[in-house]
Structure 1
Amino acid sequence: MSSENGQPGPERAAVPPGGEQLALIRETVRKAKPPKARPRTWRGAPLAAELPVARVLVDKGPVHLDQLWHYAVPAELDADAQPGTRVRVRFGAGTRQVREGRREGGGLLDGFIVERVAESDYRGPLAAIAQVLSPEPVLGPALLALCRSVADRYAGSLADVLQLAVPPRHARIEAESSPRPLPPPPVPEPGSWSRYPTGPAFLDAVARGDAPRAVWTALPGPHWPQELARAAAAALASGRGALIVVPDGRAAARVDDALTALLGAGRHVLLTAELGPEERYRRWLAVNRGAVRAVVGTRAAMFAPVRDLGLVAVWDDGDSSHSTPQAPHPHAREVLVSRALAEKAAFLLGGFGCTVEAARLVATGWALPLAAPREVLRTCAPRVRTVGEADEARDAAARAARLPSVAWETAREGLRHGPVLVQVPRRGYAPRLACERCREPARCGHCAGPLEAPGPDAPLRCGWCGRERADWYCAGCGGGRLRARIVGARRTAEELGRAFPSVPVRTSGRDHVLATVPDSPAIVVSTPGAEPAAEGGYAAALLLDGWALLGFPDLRAEEEALRRWLGAAALVRGREAGGTVVVVAESSLRPVQALVRWDPAGHARRELADRAELGFPPVSRMASVAGPPQDVAAFLATAELPPDAEVLGPVPLPVPRPGRPRRPGGPPPGEQWDRALLRVPPGRGAALATALKTAQATRLARREGEPVALWVDPLDIG
């Protein structure tokens, strides 16, 4: 008999010397217990002859119901009610679905059969499965284990993770037959991977069936989709599967085109939200049935049930799109790390930038760096020039059109040869306070969190622990004055149109994102992340108002600014082709220097060292608890946190204005919420997640107030 978690029960230990009397007592008690119930009938209907009990995961989200329930399997459903299938069960008053002898209430709910067993721990009659919705097994053992590990890591319920991992059913699609699997393709040639000293060796290891792990700093230019496609082809050549996760549909379409050009049709599928629910389920079923062994898609594809997984790859892991806004907020990078470990697959994390989490994978030896030598980088990367704010203030052209003379001349020269990209931070960026003299961020002396000014006359307050700081001074230069800046994008486009009246001006942003622009003179004004690719590359790029990105009130503001700049600069032609990038920011700042040297890995290593000194993630583990003030206070009083956990706050969150979209993990419009940050040392993240999940389940079971919003490893802790 297996235990409730599916692990074998302990073997009977040998009787120690002198313990004969104790062993006899235990044996007498064991024989006196009534045998476990093995149901025979349900209201007169016969049950399955073999394994008549089903352990069912009910699709009910609250964390206190995150457990398996026992149901009887009628004989008429025996053939279809197999592990992994969708079923409908009665979950309510008058029924007797049980776990550990308890009865619960509810109604008819959907669920998944996890396992069939011979008997139940419950000694009374069991409720029967009401209906098998589909005999299609959609929840395999590997996917179930992955979802369980994700739920445990992020303090969520298994049912919530399954809603992200298994798409909704479409009966008509299930009736269709999937294509026959194709034989493995030949081992691909290295192609542009030859520019990296260890690139061909990585492909060879994947093609041999090994599981290498690499953090790849990609060279600027348009080759990264083809390089990802060759890595996937190497996994297919070994007889295994491949999974590539990218941040948005535009990137997924580029990798999809590269895979089709390299392998032909029928060897992979594209999984994005733009497909629609029916087509997405059709392709997901083809992967689940083993007809297709390669997948490229956005964040939901991280759960794709690829058979014999040989490679997992994630592109641009610093993009916030990789984090799911629905609870429990899993991140694609962490999910793919878990899959690489559990399924012994190769791992490839790539991007033009480098996150601190990626640098830590290298620093710990879990992955190896994969980068090009400096001489190759110099030919591929554009020339980068800087313009400080002091130069901008003295520049008449900058005062007239917000373009320093260097940027204006670069744009005018670039327009002679092709399009020019202008990156402007989008509206709504809240500023972070910094020293007016040396530009160092203003931080709290207690927890090193960012300082903020709640109002014009309000004293400075820490955004993490809530402590006020009326006597702030800069630890770097001793200055006592602060600055902040917010810059919009629409006015910039209007001013550029007046500065270059004979050149067309195109815009790309949240409301309308361009995929590509032609190779002809034009000004393309884009917000960060929405830059369209130009045929043949941009002749030049202007990265305006760098302080608006660097001033974002978040721990990873500098990392994010560098990632945005690198993403735009990578679209510009190389130095040998005359490509030039101008960044309007102080040249002494560390992210600006990293852009000039094109050294994102070095910047990430230094940022990792700073965070280790201050106890910031990813060296430590953090969690966010947000909700109405009384519920946050009650939750923190209930939670049995690890002894070494540090509670920062609670502090009030800004009240969203009515009509604004709700941020993930944030308050509804017009409501006041508090937030507390919980920090634990390395290696204590699992204990913190367990404590949070237990406290949430306890309060829900006792109906003590409203549930709070939990977010383990939150993206925004500013």
Structure 2
Amino acid sequence: MSSENRPGEGGAESAPPEQLALIREAVRKAKAPKAKPRTWRGATLAKELPVARVLVDKGVLHLDRYFDYAVPEELDEAAQPGVRVRVRFGAGGRHVREGRREGGGLIDGFLVERVAESDYAGPLAALAQVVSPEPVLGPELLGLARAVADRYAGSLADVLQLAVPPRHARAEARELPDAPPPPPPPDPGTWRRYGRGPEFLASLASGGAPRAVWTALPGPQWAEEIARAVQATLASGRGALVVVPAGRSAARVDAALSAHLGEGQHAVLTADAGQERRYREWLAVRRGAVRAVVGTRAAMFAPVRDLGLVVMWDDGDASHSDDNAPFPHVREVLELRAARDKCGFLLGSWSCTVEAAQLVESGWALPLVAEREQVRSAAPLVRTVGDGDLARDEAARAARLPTLAWQVVREGLRHGPVLVQVPRRGYVPRMACVQCRTPARCRHCAGPLGAQDAGALRCAWCGRDEAAWHCPECGGFRLRAQVVGARRTAEELGRAFPAVPVRTSGREQVLDTVSEAPALVVSTPGAEPVAEGGYAAALLLDGWAMLGRPDLRAGEDALRRWIGAAALVRPQGAGGTVVVVAEPTLRPVQALVRWDPVGHAVRELAERAELGFPPVSRMAAVSGTPEALAGFLAAAELPRDAEVLGPVPMLVTEAGRPRQAGGPPPGEYWERALVRVPPGSGAALAAALKTAQAARMARGGSEPVRIRIDPPDIG
């Protein structure tokens, strides 16, 4: 019989390639009957479910899958789903084709599930060790981590490194009490200042899942209001999770929760708590001993039981975006949790980001705002000083402080402390030629020169001192400050007000609080301490330095930082005044004067929609050397509606300069391309980039290519 007439073969060979592959796979499985798994050393296996599916701790995309291992009889009881295990990676089996039958290094992993059979016909490597019988990876956390990995084109192992803290044996051995009984529903308190505030709390207390974007009124009440929302959720018998940007704000919410719930009724998950305490608190959450959690970024994965509410404070803070692959953002992760767990969602801030405005505009969340009369009574008076005012002001030219600022400081010091916000730390971080304004650069590495103390120039990249600088353009020898730092500002104010104490708060030393006594508090953005009773006044200096950044979010970030400082000032009725040194006609300045962050975000969102920029579209940043980037983009099967912008050169990282997150290694020239897709194609874009990266790694690509979904900075 000719091959064309053989029954069942002609149709298969003429079938499409996809169907042919399925037929061949079915034939292969039929010819290879599944047998009980064997190990290389012939170890006695567990009688039931002798195959363990393990996620190995290898954060590379082409190994982002489960690997089958045999369960020895002696590990049968301890090897339960969710526990940490150690396996010999490279010891044989289908998962390591390049490995050897014997040997291979031990590597950590998580046992995901136990099954009866493996679809691999050969012998399997056996589990080497069960590190701990504590099941730290439950089904809910595993599903969330997988969803985050898929959304950000990353590996599941990388997400779990962020989600599950390192083990501490002493913390596991400690007995934990049972969960406390639910507290009573709280009184609305200061939530009555918001139109739907009491209604929001009532919905949480009755078991509802309201979703809201909350524009908080200025003042310190935000932490207590979050605590009341948590108490309302716990009153319904469910759990609550609060994520804040820094340890200082976590401490404020911690104190508010202790006041409302009592001591020991909630867990605090912050990086500065220490490994043992953090793991102990995390275990208390996983075991259900506590159902309320407050923490910083990594707490977004906290395994809270019966989750009823997720809360995020100040989503515009850069600390909410993780700098480790796959770079998840707290806001997006909490949105995923709210959708997966069908729980309440509260996104709060004194300001408003365009992403928050989009949640409201799309109908996914409702606005939670106060009436304009309430806003005006709670906010301080905001006054502006523009470029024209500075040019006509002799005092401003002499000492960088306009006359209006001097008057406000002098009057404010009669009644309490005065806050001075400076965009940069240090003494004089950047210098330029007086005549031609050419930036002063180091002769050795071309890094920017700054004045670290009076009379001394030092390179910010290589640290070399420069004693004989002259301008390469005009030959001048005189320098001027481009941006004056916090320490130099404190020095100038100390000379201007010699009888007043001057305190600084910044990167080297961040103050939590200051007393209500008259003092000048000079701070960088985000490091402003809270004053008892509020500040009498505030100066927001060098506004052009924040507004002039070449970044899509420059205006939004400047407004958020200004409002964050101004919210610490007393209300206008109590004499609180804020002076911002920036051009009054600019949109962020006007939004600050009117105290209208929502209106500013709505207008920004409309402009983003016209231009097709995030968050209206989904975007990915792909960077690498020109050759590696070009090859990656050519091989990636992007969605049909994808648009590639660029590539464009990235800033070259010079030798001696600190490497930026996601940037090129020192001395390498990289390029970056932005890939943009319309709404609805974000998942397809992430899947395409992840597939292309996995294929590239499997082929042994030596030059790195970095992928970041929804990059925070596309300027």
> If the length of structure 2 is used for normalisation, what is the TM-score?
0.87
Deviations 1:247-285 (A, max 9, x none): 000000000000001110111011111111111101111
| More moved, 603-612 vs 371-380 | 371-380
- CA RMSD in angstroms comes to 2.2
Cα distance in 1 for residues equivalent to 2:38 and 2:316? 55
Matched residue, 2:552: 555
Matched residue, 1:703: 700
Matched residue, 1:478: none
Cα distance in 1 for residues equivalent to 2:266 and 2:98? 46
Confirm or deny that 1:613 pairs with 2:603.
no
Cα distance in 1 for residues equivalent to 2:407 and 2:139? 61
Shift of 1:485: 6.2
Task: Give, as a single letter, the amino acid of the residue that structure 2 aligns with 1:282.
Answer: R
Matched residue, 2:84: 86
Deviations 1:209-260 (A, max 9, x none): 1100000000000100000011111111111100000000000000000000
Would the aligned equivalents of 1:194 and 1:200 in 2 still touch at CA under 8 Å? yes
**Aligned to 1:663, what secondary structure does the other structure show?**
coil
Would the aligned equivalents of 1:382 and 1:569 in 2 still touch at CA under 8 Å? yes
Cα distance in 1 for residues equivalent to 2:199 and 2:560? 27
Matched residue, 2:401: 403
Shift of 1:400: 1.3
Deviations 1:676-702 (A, max 9, x none): 211111111111111111111111111
Would the aligned equivalents of 1:89 and 1:108 in 2 still touch at CA under 8 Å? yes
Task: Give, as a single letter, the amino acid of the residue that structure 2 aligns with 1:63.
Answer: L
Q: CA 1:512–1:251 in 2, change beyond 3 Å: closer, same or farther?
A: same
Matched residue, 2:569: 572
Cα distance in 1 for residues equivalent to 2:46 and 2:207? 42
Confirm or deny that 1:158 pairs with 2:156.
yes
Cα distance in 2 for residues equivalent to 1:37 and 1:662? 53
Deviations 1:340-396 (A, max 9, x none): 110111000000000000000000000000001111111110011111111111101
Deviations 1:530-558 (A, max 9, x none): 11100000000011111111011211100
Shift of 1:50: 1.4
Matched residue, 1:543: 540
Matched residue, 1:242: 240
Q: CA 1:50–1:385 in 2, change beyond 3 Å: closer, same or farther?
A: same
Would the aligned equivalents of 2:423 and 2:546 in 1 still touch at CA under 8 Å? yes
Would the aligned equivalents of 2:38 and 2:124 in 1 still touch at CA under 8 Å? no
Would the aligned equivalents of 1:430 and 1:553 in 2 still touch at CA under 8 Å? no
Task: Give, as a single letter, the amino acid of the residue that structure 2 aligns with 1:96.
Answer: G
Confirm or deny that 1:652 pairs with 2:649.
yes
Would the aligned equivalents of 1:53 and 1:73 in 2 still touch at CA under 8 Å? yes
Cα distance in 2 for residues equivalent to 1:342 and 1:271? 22
Cα distance in 1 for residues equivalent to 2:207 and 2:86? 41
Matched residue, 2:679: 682
Would the aligned equivalents of 2:45 and 2:71 in 1 still touch at CA under 8 Å? yes
Q: CA 1:32–1:616 in 2, change beyond 3 Å: closer, same or farther?
A: closer
Matched residue, 2:173: 175
Would the aligned equivalents of 2:429 and 2:484 in 1 still touch at CA under 8 Å? no
Matched residue, 1:464: none
**Residue 425 of structure 1, aligned match among 403, 423, 426:** 423
Matched residue, 1:70: 68
Cα distance in 1 for residues equivalent to 2:140 and 2:630? 39
Q: How many residues align?
A: 642
Shift of 1:107: 2.3
Which runs of 5 or more residues in structure 2 are unaligned? Answer: 1-22, 431-446, 449-480
Would the aligned equivalents of 2:39 and 2:126 in 1 still touch at CA under 8 Å? no
Would the aligned equivalents of 1:485 and 1:551 in 2 still touch at CA under 8 Å? no
Cα distance in 1 for residues equivalent to 2:412 and 2:577? 8
**Aligned to 2:230, what secondary structure does the other structure show?**
helix
Task: Give, as a single letter, the amino acid of the residue that structure 1 aligns with 2:615.
Answer: P
Confirm or deny that 1:582 pairs with 2:553.
no
| More moved, 499-508 vs 557-566 | 499-508
Would the aligned equivalents of 2:55 and 2:110 in 1 still touch at CA under 8 Å? yes
Confirm or deny that 1:128 pairs with 2:126.
yes
Confirm or deny that 1:301 pairs with 2:291.
no
Shift of 1:45: 3.0
Deviations 1:406-454 (A, max 9, x none): 11111110000000001111159999xxxxxxxxxxxxxxxxxxxxxx9
| More moved, 271-280 vs 103-112 | 103-112
Cα distance in 2 for residues equivalent to 1:129 and 1:85? 12
Shift of 1:397: 1.0
Matched residue, 1:14: none
Cα distance in 1 for residues equivalent to 2:691 and 2:665? 25
**Residue 666 of structure 1, aligned match among 663, 680, 694:** 663
Cα distance in 1 for residues equivalent to 2:29 and 2:369? 67
Shift of 1:97: 4.6
Cα distance in 2 for residues equivalent to 1:669 and 1:352? 39
**Aligned to 1:656, what secondary structure does the other structure show?**
coil
Shift of 1:658: 3.8
Matched residue, 2:5: none
Confirm or deny that 1:374 pairs with 2:372.
yes
Would the aligned equivalents of 2:185 and 2:231 in 1 still touch at CA under 8 Å? yes
**Aligned to 2:112, what secondary structure does the other structure show?**
strand
Shift of 1:104: 5.3
Would the aligned equivalents of 1:37 and 1:121 in 2 still touch at CA under 8 Å? no
**Aligned to 2:82, what secondary structure does the other structure show?**
coil
Q: CA 1:629–1:525 in 2, change beyond 3 Å: closer, same or farther?
A: same
Matched residue, 1:341: 339
Confirm or deny that 1:199 pairs with 2:202.
no
**Residue 604 of structure 1, aligned match among 575, 579, 601:** 601
Matched residue, 1:277: 275
Shift of 1:103: 6.3
Deviations 1:5-51 (A, max 9, x none): xxxxxxxxxxxxxxxxxxxx99x969953322322676343211111
Matched residue, 1:472: none
Cα distance in 2 for residues equivalent to 1:312 and 1:282? 21
Cα distance in 2 for residues equivalent to 1:430 and 1:204? 51
**Residue 635 of structure 2, aligned match among 631, 634, 638:** 638
Shift of 1:489: 3.1
Q: CA 1:522–1:29 in 2, change beyond 3 Å: closer, same or farther?
A: closer
Q: CA 1:490–1:210 in 2, change beyond 3 Å: closer, same or farther?
A: same
Would the aligned equivalents of 2:69 and 2:124 in 1 still touch at CA under 8 Å? yes
Task: Give, as a single letter, the amino acid of the residue that structure 2 aligns with 1:622.
Answer: M
Q: CA 1:356–1:274 in 2, change beyond 3 Å: closer, same or farther?
A: same
Cα distance in 1 for residues equivalent to 2:593 and 2:599? 12
> If the length of structure 1 is used for normalisation, what is the TM-score?
0.86
Q: CA 1:183–1:700 in 2, change beyond 3 Å: closer, same or farther?
A: same
Deviations 1:646-693 (A, max 9, x none): 222222222234444322111233332222211111111111111111
Cα distance in 1 for residues equivalent to 2:95 and 2:155? 18
Cα distance in 1 for residues equivalent to 2:84 and 2:661? 29
Matched residue, 2:308: 310
Would the aligned equivalents of 1:401 and 1:496 in 2 still touch at CA under 8 Å? no
Would the aligned equivalents of 1:71 and 1:126 in 2 still touch at CA under 8 Å? yes
Confirm or deny that 1:501 pairs with 2:495.
no
Cα distance in 2 for residues equivalent to 1:79 and 1:192? 53
Matched residue, 2:257: 259
Which runs of 5 or more residues in structure 1 are unaligned? Answer: 1-24, 432-453, 456-483
Cα distance in 1 for residues equivalent to 2:607 and 2:66? 44
Shift of 1:145: 0.5
Matched residue, 1:513: 510
Cα distance in 2 for residues equivalent to 1:170 and 1:330? 25
Q: CA 1:395–1:52 in 2, change beyond 3 Å: closer, same or farther?
A: same
Cα distance in 1 for residues equivalent to 2:659 and 2:230? 37
Matched residue, 2:47: 49
The alignment-based identity, stated in percent, is 73
Would the aligned equivalents of 1:625 and 1:709 in 2 still touch at CA under 8 Å? yes
Would the aligned equivalents of 2:53 and 2:66 in 1 still touch at CA under 8 Å? yes
Deviations 1:56-113 (A, max 9, x none): 1001111111000111111111111111001111111x421539xx665752111111
Confirm or deny that 1:523 pairs with 2:520.
yes
Shift of 1:287: 0.6
